[in-house]
Amino acid sequence: MKFDTRLLIANDWEDYALLDSGQGRKLERFGGQVLDRPDPQAFWTPARPVSQWQADAVFDARTGEDERGRWELASAKAREAWPMAWRDLHFTARRTPFRHVGLFQEHAVHWAFAREKIRTAGRPVKVLNLFGYTGLMSLACAAEGAEVVHLDASPKSNGYGKENQALSGLQDRPIRWIADDAMKFVAREQRRGHRYDAIVLDPPKFGRGPKNETWRFEDDLPGLLDGVRALLSDAPLFVILTAYAVRLSYLALAQALADRLAGRGGRMEAGEMALPQQGSDRLLPTAIYARWMAG
């Protein structure tokens, strides 16, 4: 299957901005908070020296392994949690020990894509969101009328997702919040004969399930993609696969996904995702992706 190569730039935010980047760090505005976090891909020269950056909180990654560290509060305005919005979705951002803040803002490019595909489908759509984190993709799909099954290994992340659902006024939308191991859940769904019109996957490089199951991207992704193929309905709309912090090309993702969707028709797209830096033509790469769509 041939595919188009694209660079997806998350440039439709009002509540987020990449203010500066360089020397292995990035300065970002999330709603009412400015955060200084490490980013190994930003090894260029920042617009302003890092020593002159002004942030409400600074993440120090030197205190632990596997991205764990601690936040140093740099202003009286620093908050542990605060409100944010993207389009009509409302949610809570929060500082975590793993430098994340409850959302991956570059994924807005896929939220917008999924919403448009569901809105124009002209029929009921059932979505499976694997590794769904705090649920913004699930909310984006539900906002357009889709029935969503949201899966994440972390009950805490699912709890935040339910809170975000309420904040967005989507309490009446059908979202099932499930804490489970992705591989086991997909296998059970196959046995049950359940099918989905759209499947979204954002797996980490390494992770653990709720019963200490182990996930390793390069080892486990092929088997999971086999399961994804088996769970697709007879008239699927799209499949979105993203990856970060892995030593792979987007070509690898696209070709692995294309293998499973051979004979489905449609078209494939793959490339990188990036964030635009405010007041500059600089882009900060964040992840790689592959996505298939019908038609």
DSSP for 228-244 reads HHHHB-SS--EEEEEE-
Q: Are 40 and 63 in contact (CB under 8 A)?
A: no
Rounded to the nearest 10 degrees, the angle between the axes of helix 136-143 and helix 155-167 is 40
- The DSSP letter of residue 223 is H
- pLDDT value at residue 64: 45
Identify which has the larger pLDDT, 288 or 212: 288
Burial class (CB in 10 A: 0-12, 13-18, 19+), 211: exposed
Structure confidence at residue 65 as a pLDDT band (50, 70, 90): very low
CA distances from 205 to 24, 105, 208, 219, 245 (A): 20, 18, 11, 10, 6
Say how far apart CA 139 and CA 90 lie, in whole Å: 9
232 Cβ neighbours under 8 A, 6+ residues apart: 195, 196, 197, 199, 239, 264
Flag the least confident range among 1-5, 51-55, 222-226, 235-239.
1-5
| Whether the Cβ atoms of residue 277 and residue 16 lie closer than 8 Å to each other | no
**Which of residues 263 and 158 earns the better pLDDT score?**
158
pLDDT digits (tens, 9 = 90+) for 231-265: 999 999 999 999 998 989 999 999 999 999 999 99
Contact status, residue 282 vs residue 242, Cβ threshold 8 Å:
no
Return the closest-CA partner of residue 37 out of 82, 74, 83.
74
Write out pLDDT tens, residues 113-127: 999 999 999 999 999
Q: Going by C-beta distance under 8 Å and a sequence separation of 6 or more, which residues neighbour residue 25?
A: 36, 37, 38, 39, 42, 46, 50, 53
Q: By percentage, how much of the chain surpasses pLDDT 90?
A: 90
Q: Which residues contact 159 (CB under 8 A, 6 or more apart)?
A: none
Phi, psi of 279, deg, nearest 5: 70, 20
Residue 67 has pLDDT above 70, yes or no: no
Secondary structure (3-state) at 290:
strand
User: Can you give the pLDDT at residue 61?
Assistant: 78
Q: Which domains are assigned to the chain?
A: 3-9+100-293 (3.40.50.150), 16-85 (2.60.40.1180)
Across the chain, what does the average pLDDT equal? 95
Handedness of CA 194, 141, 80, 63 (dihedral sign): positive
Gap between the Cα atoms of 263 and 265, Å rounded:
6
Give the residue, 125 or 66, on which the prediction is more confident. 125
Q: Is the pLDDT reported for residue 212 higher than 90?
A: no
Smallest Cα–Cα separation from 3: which of 185, 267, 271, 240?
A: 267
